[in-house]
Structure 1
Amino acid sequence: MKAFASIASEYLDLRLVFLGASDVELPSLRNLCTKEGLAARVSFFTDIPHAQIAEHFRQASIFVLPSRQEPFGIVLLEAGCFALPVISSKVGGIPEIIDDTLTGLLVNPDQPDELANALRSVLNDPARGRAMGQKLRLRVIREFTWTHAHDQYVRLVNS
């Protein structure tokens, strides 16, 4: 939210959409949104069925996952299926999925200025964002399917 607030005046058509489970942070995010005067440009979708997530991906232009911790980040694979430019924190297993500057951008956690700069770089160069999204999509198809996991497992068992 802080990263969005810092760039909102530069990109007047930009909207922020939060998707996820309800938790204790939601009221403070809503309050920050109101305090920053951005309530009309921010939407919150909580606890929505997984079957409805694809429509949100289809409507997105960038996917951001600013996690403080993330063991794997399967949602990044989902964003990759939609060839979205991805910006995420370099924590946990995320760098195993996102190759910084090739298939997405990685930022340090809890650094809203760094996240804002990454957003600017994608917004100011949409062709670069689309290229990263396409490369991520190809990587997801090539390396993160059930067929690939099965083949890797068979190789491991047979070695």
Structure 2
Amino acid sequence: MSIKVLHIIDSLLTGGAETIAVNTFNALNRQQDVEAYLCATRIEGPLKENIEKRSNYIFLRKKYSIDIRALTRLYSFIKRNDIKIIHAHTTSFFITVFIKLKFLNTKVVWHNHTGANINLSGWRLLFLKLCSNIFHTVINVNEELNSWSKNKLNASSTVVLNNFSELTNNSRVTKLKGNSTENIVCVAGLRPEKDHLNLLAAFSKILDGFNDVSLHIIGKNYKNKYSSAIEEYIYKHQLSTNVFLYDNCTDIKYILSQASIGVLSSKSEGLPISLLEYGMLGLPVVVTEVGDCTKVVKNSVTGIVVEKENNEALFEGVLQLLEGKTKAKLMGQNLKILVTENYSSSAYVDFLRTLYKSINECNNKK
């Protein structure tokens, strides 16, 4: 008999946690012993087209923090499919409180993707800590988050599970703009922790010595103060002919196939999916020393690691790849081997199957 598990995510926009939720749902449904379901609570988005088993998907159209209509739909879905395990990703943990109140025997797994959570304080931390009393297991994407979860939350257990990457979307829609020979790509939604302003400052210095290079930023534009600051920087420094913003894209495989270098300039991370995607395509990379980036990128072996919030260091890292193409190519090849061997979907799925089985056995004993 298959183990039934519902993955919950707030949106299907093209973020790291959202990508993992959809890829995990798809990968689990290729197994014989797991029946996976997927719920998007608030917003659909481009990742919907990647969902393989639509009959196991529900969109709640949740409009409020406590939305009775959305909860009623979710309760019916859980009851109809006899789901016993809820796997909530990032901020969707809140809705699991109401699920637990309705279905007492349901077990909740919370997937902690967000590296910046280690900086939580005040009422936000207190609220999460209170909610964590219903968590059977917290899955953390790196050791730092796992240590934080053990010290700050009240879950029964905490574990570490490395992210994985699958580039199954083979569409070819997004042609990179401009006519540059060297295309630098940054796949990161326009959020402050991704520190695009630091990247733009570094890229401005690159243009002082290279004319035939462009920067392509792929990720959700939230139309807020931060995204406005990025647009203003591009305009003020006259970068519009070399810097391009693309918003959400799902054809990441095709986009990266057109790139020369992959960069991430983050202030904080868990284990970025974008980095694994760069590796799958064998791109030379420059990343900041945050989260588990340094587990994947060994400096000067599988890429370049630089200090965060330091545009001079970021500039020098990218410059090293632009000027040393032979070594850059070798680092890209090394990264591809490392990602393929250590961040595969098979190991990830096997871990979850074992976890779900142990949780299911606990349910059956009661």
Counterparts of 2:350 and 2:299, CA distance in 1: 27
Aligned counterpart, 2:238: 37
Counterparts of 1:127 and 1:2, CA distance in 2: 26
- Give 3-state SS (helix, strand or coil) of 2:232's partner: helix
- In the TM superposition, residue 149 of structure 1 has moved relative to its aligned partner by 3.7
Match 2:261 to one of 62, 70, 83? 62
Counterparts of 1:111 and 1:32, CA distance in 2: 17
String of CA shifts for 1:102-133, please: whole Å, max 9, x gaps.
10111111100000000111000011111000
Unpaired segments ≥5 residues, structure 1: 155-159
- Code of the residue aligned with 1:137 in structure 2: it is K
String of CA shifts for 1:42-84, please: whole Å, max 9, x gaps.
1101122x2x111210111000000100011111110001100
Aligned counterpart, 2:292: 93
Aligned counterpart, 2:340: 141
- Give 3-state SS (helix, strand or coil) of 1:39's partner: coil
Give identity over the alignment, percent. Answer: 26
Aligned counterpart, 2:315: 116
- In the TM superposition, residue 153 of structure 1 has moved relative to its aligned partner by 7.9
- Code of the residue aligned with 2:307 in structure 1: it is N
- Code of the residue aligned with 2:262 in structure 1: it is F
Alignment of structure 1 residues 6-25 onto 2, 5 Å: 6-23=205-222, 24=224, 25=226
Counterparts of 1:148 and 1:136, CA distance in 2: 18
- Code of the residue aligned with 1:46 in structure 2: it is D
Counterparts of 1:126 and 1:75, CA distance in 2: 22
- The structure with the greater share of residues assigned to helix is 1
Structure 2-normalised TM-score? Answer: 0.40
- Give 3-state SS (helix, strand or coil) of 2:208's partner: coil
- Give 3-state SS (helix, strand or coil) of 2:209's partner: coil
Alignment of structure 1 residues 68-107 onto 2, 5 Å: 68-107=267-306
- In the TM superposition, residue 143 of structure 1 has moved relative to its aligned partner by 0.9
- The structure with the greater share of residues assigned to strand is 2
- Code of the residue aligned with 2:201 in structure 1: it is K
Contact 1:142-1:148 at 8 Å conserved across structures:
no
Name the count of aligned residue pairs. Answer: 155
- Code of the residue aligned with 1:127 in structure 2: it is T
- Code of the residue aligned with 1:38 in structure 2: it is L
- Code of the residue aligned with 1:113 in structure 2: it is E
Larger radius of gyration: 2
- Give 3-state SS (helix, strand or coil) of 1:106's partner: strand
- Give 3-state SS (helix, strand or coil) of 2:213's partner: coil
- Code of the residue aligned with 1:114 in structure 2: it is A
Which runs of 4 or more aligned residues in structure 1 lie more than 4 Å from their structure 2 counterparts after TM superposition? 150-154
- Give 3-state SS (helix, strand or coil) of 2:246's partner: strand
Unpaired segments ≥5 residues, structure 2: 1-199, 354-366
Counterparts of 1:99 and 1:153, CA distance in 2: 28
